[in-house]
Chain A
């Protein structure tokens, strides 16, 4: 789901980057207010977890690959705003050191995977809780919907490129496939496989976090799950 450099136009990169500025500004304010230094390791663990989980490529029928993100898991455990920061930092490192996703495209990739995914996933999680589903199931469904929302956003950003940016004779300047190709391809990969992987990981970790004792460093990761408000 990481948009590589050159796949979307500089204009698109600028718009998506601009969209992420208010998100990260609000996130920084919220986190600075409600978190303190003791929570920073939890955010770091969340970020490192998302980074690592994204390395586990899973095969998609048809010869491509995809991966889970852990976005909804982070949103549930850290709150969606802190999750947004943690995911953005993971994406930044991926782009900077490993060329996974473009540096210019970091705004778009953060918008999809560090804003859409955690917030949609968290919203669905809360909705499922209000429908009296248990936390494990709610988090799994949230994870499934969250990653698919991000995949859809990615597909739209890619698919718009040949429509908006082409030479005088219609040759695409950037991503060459339109919405009619990009949306089915991205959604197939994430509705069938990556979404399931995201759902299972999210549900399993939430199940585990509900059980950890106070000695465990992950205990502070789970106070939201236990309903402590601090």
Chain B
């Protein structure tokens, strides 16, 4: 059990490695990138691009992404928040699922 938590923490602390890859994923550009690529922003893209505003956009803390260190901290913080949200959802699902039966003793 202890080993599992250590492994989980190590993986979370390593997530900023994902920041080192340069550029955006293909097909996941921001509007400014689109504009520089094709010269305009398609009307529908512009209209729907911010239906809701993310709390931690692109896994970063808004205003705290000036250098790699800040971005890395924001990324790790995002991983922790995301995992916590997932655990919370499953805790709720587990409650909805009804009485436990002895299926897997």
Residue positions of A touching B, CB distance < 8 A: 1-7, 9-10, 32, 34-41, 43-44, 47-48, 51-52, 55-60, 63-67, 89-90, 92-94, 96-100, 102-104, 154-155, 158, 165, 167, 171-176, 182, 185-186, 189, 215-218, 220, 223, 230
Contact = CB atoms under 8 A, between A and B. Distances in A.
Contact of A65 (B3, B23, B38, B43): B23
Contacts of B51: 5-6, 102-104
23 contacts: A5-B49, A7-B45, A36-B100, A36-B103, A36-B104, A44-B86, A93-B82, A97-B55, A97-B56, A98-B58, A98-B78, A99-B58, A103-B52, A104-B48, A171-B40, A173-B44, A173-B45, A175-B27, A176-B42, A182-B27, A189-B26, A217-B4, A230-B103
Given A97-B55, A98-B82, A99-B54, A65 B27 contact: no
Q: Is chain B's binding surface mostly helix, strand, loop or mixed?
A: helix
Q: Give the size category of B's interface with A.
A: 35 or more
Contacts of B103: 34-36, 230
Contacts, number: 184
- Which of A1, A4, A51 counts the most B-chain CB atoms under 10 A from its CB? A4
B11 to A, nearest CB: 6
Contacts of A90: 86
A208 B86 CA distance: 24
A85 B91 CA distance: 14
B62 to A, nearest CB: 11
A64 B23 contact: yes
A85 B27 CA distance: 25
